[in-house]
Amino acid sequence: MTVGDLHAEGAAALAPREGLPNPTRELRWLLAQALGRSETWILAHHDEAVPAHVEAIFRGWLRRRADGEPAHYIVGSCPFWGRVFTVTPAVLIPRPETELIVECALTVPEPDRPRVLDVGTGSGCLAVTLALELSGATVTATDVSPEAVAVASRNARALGARVRFAAGNLATHIRGPFDLVVANLPYVPAGEIPELSVEIRAYEPHVALAGGEDGADLLRTFLADLPRLLAPGGHALLEMGPRQRAGLQAGVAASGLTEVHRGLDHAGIERVLVLRRP
């Protein structure tokens, strides 16, 4: 079998449907991962022979993907901010929009050795990235799921990031103050869970998705605790969905924090609420 043969086999096995809108892109990525090559290499080497063990791995991955399992869980990794993170079904697959938190974090004023807290760390993509990108930062990360904390700790070790991890509900078990607090908490409204694509609703951890009736339950609870966690002049960056803004207005006002910026994704949708403690 050649690379081109397996590419054609993958195209026949995967068809566009719910949860799989771009099968050509996905099969090329899976084939590249199985071969340990880049997608560019795949395109330029269709006549290259493929070892039998790689054929077997790729065909197994195709079957799992055809059944709806997310490609990143199948391979066990996902890129984020130029690094590769281990992912398992215990954690959400990092999304490109979450990189907006990193962008915002690198632009807000911080002291020379910032104290950083990541709440709802999941795979640890934010905590690890900030530990590596912010020189001299002291980073603490927490998640309600001990299994997620284990995955995040593994990523920190693999990528050489110094992060202190602790499992617990939001940040009630954490003592401040911090100069920077980031949080990617569940924000999918309860009524929208059944409408999610099958690969999300059937495979990704429900606890990391469901945000209550309007999607803002945990965000509101966390907002009330932010003044305790933030040092004077400190910033909080909260990821939210496109419909959570109205449900957070009262909580922002009650917190006494000042809204200083709204992070917009590439589609112009507000994704990150940037707050500052006066």
Q: What is the pTM of this model?
A: 0.93
CA–CA distance, 71 with 57 (Å, rounded to integer): 13
- Structural domain tally of the chain? 2
Identify the domain boundary among 48, 68, 88.
68
Residues 39, 101, single domain; the answer is: no
pLDDT score of 263 more than 90:
no
Residues 17, 94, single domain; the answer is: no
Residues 160, 252, single domain; the answer is: yes
Residues 14, 82, single domain; the answer is: no
Instruction: Write the CATH number for 115.
Output: 3.40.50.150
Give the mean pLDDT of the chain: 94
Question: What pLDDT sits at residue 38?
Answer: 94
Angle at 102 between CA 125 and CA 249, to 5 degrees: 105
CA–CA distance, 128 with 153 (Å, rounded to integer): 9
144-191 pLDDT, tens digit per residue, is: 999 999 999 999 999 999 999 999 999 999 998 999 999 999 999 989
Mean pLDDT within 19-29: 87
Residues 19, 101, single domain; the answer is: no
E strands of 120-209, at which residues? 138-143, 163-167, 178-183
Residues 46, 168, single domain; the answer is: no
pLDDT score of 7 more than 80:
yes
CA–CA distance, 278 with 275 (Å, rounded to integer): 10
Residues 63, 90, single domain; the answer is: no
The dihedrals phi and psi of 151, each to the nearest 5 degrees, come to -65, -45
The set of residues, in sequence order, having a beta carbon less than 8 Å from that of 48 and lying 6+ positions away, is 2, 3
Residues 82, 25, single domain; the answer is: no
